């Protein structure tokens, strides 16, 4: 599984991940979420479905990837978008807070302060798999002291594991964007709305998806309509870099803090 080595490999990856002409790239994905607790069988707790809309902008020695992403937690059986959820571990009913991350910006540099951006490439014959593994460890935005119901630990640790698979013929053809299928696995703490306090365990997300050649118009009708009605900004990528990046934890914290201050 060699890493990218040639000067144009990052540009090739950006054609797979986004589009090198600055056009929006729409990635749709859907899958399942299991709770994984020490000494217990995994338990299917949610389905999920979402969209990431990204734009690649040339930058010094690489690219800036500017994106927004919305992900909705689903009933694992009916596949309806959840508004509330009966937590099977606490027996409490809680309000569901979906993922509404705006922005999600990422610099991809050949040689930057954090070293060169690394993507492993697997040759599958007539297909290539581009793999990026991101391991996160940083102080949680929600401390145990200040958010004892919602925060599992003072340290946030998670793994975000991506694969983008494309046809060699498409990659060898001219064009700013290459069709791709996407696999994403995430191992992360309980999300704050679950109100799991410091109970041990993790959530495991596992999904498949694809970059949609027709863009937003190819999203499933329910998802596109929901975003058009509730959050239309998530149907386009950002036009410029803003910050800081939003995460599920920072988004939930802002909502909770605003509600507490208004009470």
In this structure, is residue 122 part of a structural domain? yes
Instruction: State mean pLDDT over 42-54.
Output: 98
Residues 6+ away with beta carbon under 8 Å from 92: 86, 195
Is pLDDT at 14 greater than 60 in this prediction? yes
- Which residues are bridge partners to 34 per DSSP? 44, 204
Q: Do the Cβ atoms of 198 and 211 come closer than 8 Å?
A: no
Domain of residue 191: give its range.
9-262
Using left for φ > 0, alpha for ψ between -120 and 50, and beta otherwise, residue 30 falls in beta
Query: In the predicted model, what is the mean pLDDT of residues 114-131?
Result: 77
**With 70 as the cut, is the pLDDT of residue 116 above it?**
no
In a domain, 4, yes or no: no
Residue 2 lies in a domain: no
Element (H, E) at 57: strand 43-59
Residue 258 phi, psi (nearest 5): -65, -40
Is residue 177 in some structural domain?
yes
Q: Would you state the pLDDT for residue 261?
A: 79
Residue range 101-116: average pLDDT? Answer: 77
Residue 236 domain flag? yes
Chain centroid to CA 188: 12
**196 lies in some domain:** yes
Cα–Cα dist 46/229, whole Å: 23
* pLDDT exceeds 80 at position 79: yes
Q: Is residue 79 part of a domain?
A: yes
- List pLDDT tens digits, range 210-222: 999 999 999 999 9
pLDDT band at 9 (very low <50, low <70, confident <90, very high): confident
Q: So what's the pLDDT on residue 192?
A: 98
Q: Domain total for the chain? A: 1
- On the CB side of 164, CA atoms within 13 Å amount to 22
- Residue 5: per-residue pLDDT: 45
């Amino acid at each position: 599984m060699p890493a990218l080595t040639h000067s144009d490999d990052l540009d090739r990856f950006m054609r797979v991940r986004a589009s090198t002409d600055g056009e929006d790239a729409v990635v749709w994905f859907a899958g399942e979420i299991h709770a994984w607790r020490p000494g217990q069988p995994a338990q299917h707790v949610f389905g999920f479905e979402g969209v990431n809309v990204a734009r690649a902008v040339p930058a010094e020695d690489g690219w800036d990837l500017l994106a927004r992403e919305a992900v909705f937690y689903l009933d694992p059986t009916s596949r309806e978008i959840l508004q509330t959820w009966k937590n099977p571990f606490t027996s409490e009913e809680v309000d569901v807070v979906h993922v509404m991350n705006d922005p999600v910006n990422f610099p991809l540099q050949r040689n930057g302060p954090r070293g060169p951006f690394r993507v492993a490439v697997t040759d599958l014959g007539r297909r290539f798999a581009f793999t990026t593994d991101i391991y996160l460890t940083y102080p949680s935005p929600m401390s145990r002291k200040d958010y004892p119901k919602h925060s599992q630990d003072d340290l946030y640790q998670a793994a975000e594991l991506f694969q983008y698979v494309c046809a060699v013929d498409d990659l060898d053809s001219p064009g700013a964007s290459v069709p791709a299928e996407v696999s994403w696995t995430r191992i992360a703490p309980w999300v704050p709305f679950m109100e799991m306090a410091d109970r041990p365990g993790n959530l495991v997300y596992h999904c498949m998806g694809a970059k949609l050649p027709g863009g937003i118009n190819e999203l499933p009708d329910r998802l596109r309509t929901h975003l058009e009605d509730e959050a239309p900004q998530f149907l386009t990528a950002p036009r410029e870099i803003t910050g800081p990046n939003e995460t599920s934890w920072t988004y939930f914290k802002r909502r909770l803090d605003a509600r507490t201050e208004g009470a």
